[in-house]
């Protein structure tokens, strides 16, 4: 094949589907791009290989793009995110024992995250009184939506995620095994690994992340800023190919084909039926076969999901401040927001303006407090549990 050679890293998750489909359906080749996809197991590998130039682009956790740009706990490498690979798509899965304990303490509908967060607080208190070890929750990376979503949910119910439970980092493909062998009691991860735990009978999906935040920027197509400046025309073609892929994936008539593509061993490597459940937003949530549907479970392209929203970057930066990973400054806030580049998206795809999505503040947190990306202080003042004041 001829064309501009590009090496792009990814983690085997369904929110890499636009990247995988863009290559495997020939959308990148149609843009004269010769893309080599490299499957990785950990986010630190993806981040480091992107930062040092082994990858030209990457499927990347949205908060990692911001943290890298701000130089938080790592070498400062400015990153741009001109395309969202997915909104939402995560879920919180708990062991059968913890599920039973939470249901026993739930006062109300357990589909409501506030009900389960308060139930978790009661479970935590009972375990402490009995002298038992703290519960252990798995998440994928300190600078990850999984970390912030777990913390946001727990803290709303009065659980301090640093004092009352343990949070540990695990690669996504290892979550089901870790809950099965008792190393963790619960985890937050992207698809398909929640479904794998349910199918193995070792977990119950407690919440879709779309229960906690209606629109949560999850993964982005990330490039280094110097690379983008040196290759503007290549970047346009790359965004365009991903736009075609997202449209293809969001067409229900293509879901079976997409699931087969994603199931290849060098892509995600799990059963196509599990992958199609994810794309359709219809997931088995308990080993007894109970299903639940949500039109917001994973957004790849519809409802403007692929267009980066700087308000989402501001929300992620606010969580970094809340949990002691970053100090606030107006300059850092503006830098974080500039990581998400709707202008590059619009130029490549010939669009303009934020598509309508019906979420009042672009985030839609379950606790009811609206988020203003220009008022981080107000957001942090509204929460009781945090590591540092603004």
Q: pLDDT for 92-109, tens place per residue?
A: 999 999 999 999 999 999
**The domain containing residue 325 runs over which residues?**
4-87+216-267+300-382
pLDDT band at 73 (very low <50, low <70, confident <90, very high): confident
Is 277 inside any structural domain? no
Q: How confident is the model at residue 7, as a pLDDT?
A: 98
Shared domain check, 203 and 238 = no
Q: How confident is the model at residue 25, as a pLDDT?
A: 98
Shared domain check, 221 and 206 = no
Is 281 inside any structural domain? no
Shared domain check, 82 and 107 = no
Shared domain check, 111 and 10 = no
pLDDT band at 390 (very low <50, low <70, confident <90, very high): low
Which of residues 211, 228, 247 is at a domain's end?
Answer: 211
Among 335, 311, 319, residue whose Cα is nearest residue 380? 319
Is 285 inside any structural domain? no
Which of residues 169, 194, 211 is at a domain's end?
Answer: 211
Q: How confident is the model at residue 167, as a pLDDT?
A: 98
Contacts of 250 (CB under 8 A, 6+ apart): 300, 301, 302
Q: How confident is the model at residue 142, as a pLDDT?
A: 95
Shared domain check, 67 and 29 = yes
Query: What token pair was written down for 72?
Result: 């938080």
> How many CB atoms lie under 10 A from the CB of residue 254?
16
Looking at the structure of the chain, the number of domains it has is 2
pLDDT, tens only, 34-51: 999 999 989 999 999 999
Phi/psi of residue 249, nearest 5 degrees:
-65, -40
Is 263 inside any structural domain? yes
Shared domain check, 356 and 231 = yes
Instruction: Say what the alpha-carbon torsion angle 16, 19, 24, 28 is, to the nearest 10 degrees.
Output: 180
Shared domain check, 94 and 77 = no
3-state SS, one letter per residue, for 21-72: HHHHCCHHHHCCEEEEEEECCCHHHHHHHHHCCCCCEEEEEHHHHHHHHHCC
Residue 299 · residue 305 · CB < 8 Å? yes
Least confident of 78-82, 347-351, 357-361: 357-361
CATH of the domain at 351: 3.40.190.10
pLDDT at 190 over 60: yes
Q: How confident is the model at residue 368, as a pLDDT?
A: 78
Shared domain check, 260 and 145 = no
Shared domain check, 354 and 232 = yes
Which of residues 211, 239, 255 is at a domain's end?
Answer: 211
Shared domain check, 244 and 362 = yes
Question: Integer distance in angstroms from the first to the last C-alpha of the chain?
Answer: 53
Q: What is the mean pLDDT of residues 270-278?
A: 95
> How many CB atoms lie under 10 A from the CB of residue 191?
28
What does the mean pLDDT of the chain come to?
95
Q: How confident is the model at residue 206, as a pLDDT?
A: 98
Is 291 inside any structural domain? no
Least confident of 162-166, 170-174, 255-259, 260-264: 170-174
pLDDT, tens only, 115-165: 999 999 999 999 999 999 999 999 999 999 999 999 999 999 999 999 999
pLDDT band at 355 (very low <50, low <70, confident <90, very high): confident
Shared domain check, 201 and 121 = yes
């Amino acid at each position: 094949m001829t064309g501009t050679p590009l090496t792009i890293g990814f983690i085997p998750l369904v929110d890499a589907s636009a990247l995988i489909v863009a290559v495997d359906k020939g959308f990148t080749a149609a843009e004269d791009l010769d893309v080599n996809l490299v499957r990785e197991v950990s986010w630190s590998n993806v981040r480091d290989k992107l930062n040092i130039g082994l990858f030209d682009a990457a499927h990347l956790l949205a908060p990692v793009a911001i943290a890298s740009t701000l130089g938080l706990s790592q070498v400062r490498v400015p990153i741009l995110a001109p395309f969202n690979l997915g909104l939402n798509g995560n879920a919180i899965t708990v062991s059968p024992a913890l599920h039973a304990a939470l249901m026993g303490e739930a006062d109300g509908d357990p589909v409501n995250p506030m009900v389960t967060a308060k139930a978790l607080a009661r479970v935590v208190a009972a375990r402490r009184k009995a002298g038992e070890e703290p519960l252990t929750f798995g998440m994928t990376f300190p600078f990850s939506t999984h970390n912030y979503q777990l913390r946001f949910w727990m803290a709303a119910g009065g659980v301090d995620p640093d004092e009352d439970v343990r949070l540990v980092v695990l690669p996504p493909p290892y979550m089901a095994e870790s809950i099965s062998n008792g190393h963790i009691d619960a985890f937050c991860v992207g698809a398909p690994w929640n479904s794998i735990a349910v199918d193995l009978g070792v977990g119950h999906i407690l919440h879709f992340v779309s229960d906690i935040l209606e629109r949560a920027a999850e993964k982005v197509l990330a490039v280094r800023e110097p690379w983008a400046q040196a290759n503007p025309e290549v970047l346009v073609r790359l965004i365009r190919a991903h736009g075609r892929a997202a449209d293809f994936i969001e067409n229900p008539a293509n879901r079976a084909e997409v699931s087969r593509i994603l199931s290849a061993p060098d892509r995600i490597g799990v059963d196509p039926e599990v992958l199609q459940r994810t794309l359709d937003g219809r997931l088995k949530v308990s080993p007894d076969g109970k299903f639940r549907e949500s039109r917001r479970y994973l957004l790849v392209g519809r409802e403007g999901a692929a267009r980066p929203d700087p308000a989402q970057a501001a929300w992620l930066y606010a969580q970094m401040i809340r949990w002691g990973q970053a100090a606030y400054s107006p300059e850092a806030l503006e830098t974080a927001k500039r990581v998400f580049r709707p202008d590059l998206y619009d130029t490549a795809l010939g669009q303009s303006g934020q598509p309508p999505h019906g979420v009042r503040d672009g985030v839609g947190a379950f606790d009811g407090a609206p988020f203003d990306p220009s008022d981080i202080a107000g957001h942090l003042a509204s929460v009781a549990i945090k590591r540092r004041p603004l």
